[in-house]
Structure 1
């Protein structure tokens, strides 16, 4: 379970490494200015790369019979088995 940690700006300057480690471990770290929440310290999370359509063109092969589903499998999905 994450813990909420609030520190003032001066304390954050002197303990940045420790606070960063806590944020990385899941604690919510709030840096306050004049006693009021000012910043959240968050771990960096990689953003997923944008999809590039056609990237695998020519690398994926499908069987000529890929769209012919056997009757027993269709019956299993439709509940008639």
Structure 2
């Protein structure tokens, strides 16, 4: 039981790091923080928590990432 809790907390902190890096990079490109948070939420909905962590570990995105990011950004843009 303890191992499962430790494993989940390790994934959570790695996910938090991935999300934080995404938001920082997104904001440095000029997007508002709220849009960046929305976009990473939508990417997380698509790829899942472990998927985002895996993408970060691999160092390169899957072939559909640019498309998913474009869709997410469009959905998160303020009117």
Q: TM-score range by the shorter chain?
A: under 0.3
Higher percent of residues as helix? 2
Higher relative contact order, structure no. (Cα contacts within 8 Å, ≥ 6 residues apart): 2
**TM-score, with structure 1 as normaliser:** 0.21
Higher percent of residues as strand? 1
**Which has more radius of gyration?**
1
